[in-house]
Amino acid sequence: MTIQDLVQGARDRLIRAGISANLAGLDAEVLARRVLGWDQARFLVDRHEPASSAFLLNYEHYVARRMRREPISYIIGTREFWSLDFEVTPDVLIPRPETELIIEEAIKRFRETGVRPLFPTEPPAAIENRGLTPVSAPLFIDVGTGSGVLAIVLAKEFSKARVIATDVSAGALRVARRNAERHGVADRITFVETSFLDGLKEMADLIVSNPPYVPAVCAAGLTPEVLDYEPSVAVFGGEDGLEGLRRVFEDAIPRLTPGAWLIVEFGYGQEEAVRSLVEELPALSLVSIRGDLQDIPRTAVVQKRP
């Protein structure tokens, strides 16, 4: 029996376990390449080789886990984000592609220019009159860092920035620290075990967050991969899904410098609620809402008024 025969059989079993055909085929191949230590190019060339008994044993173990709907990122222990590999464990939410929008907006709104973010309606002369000075080491805060992807990518993209990354989970912070070491930015990130921004005194030039935002009432509609395996504290934002977002907005106000940015992710169908939350806070101004690749609104760009 060849490697490809086993992969095809695994695909069929994953489909019967409730995984979509396209995803089942991809997962079956990824798990095979993980066992073999092959990249995709070698797999395409050598997949018709006879399967060894060692491969069969190890591959079966992985496939059985996936059939129980364990996320493949937890099985292989990594997930790609911003073209970088990050360790993921059941202590952390698995990074999603749409979260990269936060990084894109941060770069767009506050590239490493050496000056504080400017409020869009404020003319340059007014900035100078208020005496704002260049920022040689801007401070960014990632609220609810999880695996650390946002904090770490920001530290890599902004080489002079200092970053604080908070999380209520000690297990998540251990994963985030290892990821920071892996990507060479651990010396510029301070990890703090706390809820949201509790206890922080520093003033930030940029705050980012992917808070829990799934309404608890929607739990029954989630896939087993999310409901049974991902940490509920990182998924559910209360009955209406807005508790985490509300905390981020309210806690950010005293921690943002005048004109600084707050960029957050929110869930499907929550755009109007997010707009209302910001409108209720006079210190903040909603600058834009960013849609994902399906044009579904997912990211709010907010600024603290001067």
Domain check: are 121 and 21 in the same one?
no
128: domain CATH number is 3.40.50.150
State whether 27 and 116 are in the same domain.
Answer: no
Query: Among residues 68, 99, 118, which one ends one of the domains?
Result: 68
Asked whether residue 244 is domain-assigned, the answer is yes
Residues 11 and 126 in one domain: no
Is the same domain home to 287 and 175? yes
The whole-number pLDDT of residue 84 equals 97
Of 68, 101, 121, the domain-final residue: 68
Residues 13 and 124 in one domain: no
249 in the same domain as 144:
yes
Q: At 173, which helix (H) or strand (E)?
A: helix 170-182
Q: What pLDDT is recorded for position 112? A: 44
Instruction: Please give the pLDDT value at position 137.
Output: 78
Same-domain pairing of 166 and 247: yes
- Total structural domains within the chain: 2
- What's the rounded Cα separation, in Å, for the pair 163 and 149? 12
- CA–CA gap between residue 237 and residue 235 (Å, rounded): 7
What 3-state DSSP class applies to 4?
helix
Weakly modelled stretches of the chain, pLDDT under 70: 111-136
Tell whether 99 and 139 lie within a shared domain: yes
Q: What is the pLDDT of residue 127?
A: 41
Kindly report the backbone phi and psi dihedral angles of residue 38, in degrees, each rounded to the nearest multiple of 5, phi listed first: -100, 150
Pair 298, 167 in one domain: yes
Q: What is the pLDDT of residue 116?
A: 46
In a domain, 53, yes or no: yes
Q: Are 81 and 88 in contact (CB under 8 A)?
A: no
- Three-state DSSP at 116 gives coil
pTM score over 0.85: yes
Report the SS3 class of residue 230: coil
Whether residue 147 is found in the same domain as residue 281? yes
Give the model confidence (pLDDT) of 173-196 as tens digits. Answer: 999 999 999 999 999 999 999 999
Left if phi > 0, otherwise alpha if psi is -120 to 50, otherwise beta: which for 258?
A: beta
Same domain for 28 and 139: no
Range of 258's domain? 91-304
Co-location of 185 and 283 in the same domain: yes
Contact call for residues 81 and 100 (beta carbons, < 8 A): yes
pLDDT tens figures, 57-104: 999 999 999 999 999 999 999 999 999 999 999 999 999 999 999 999
Given a contact cutoff of 8 angstroms between Cβ atoms, the answer to whether 283 and 255 are in contact is no
pLDDT of residue 136: 58
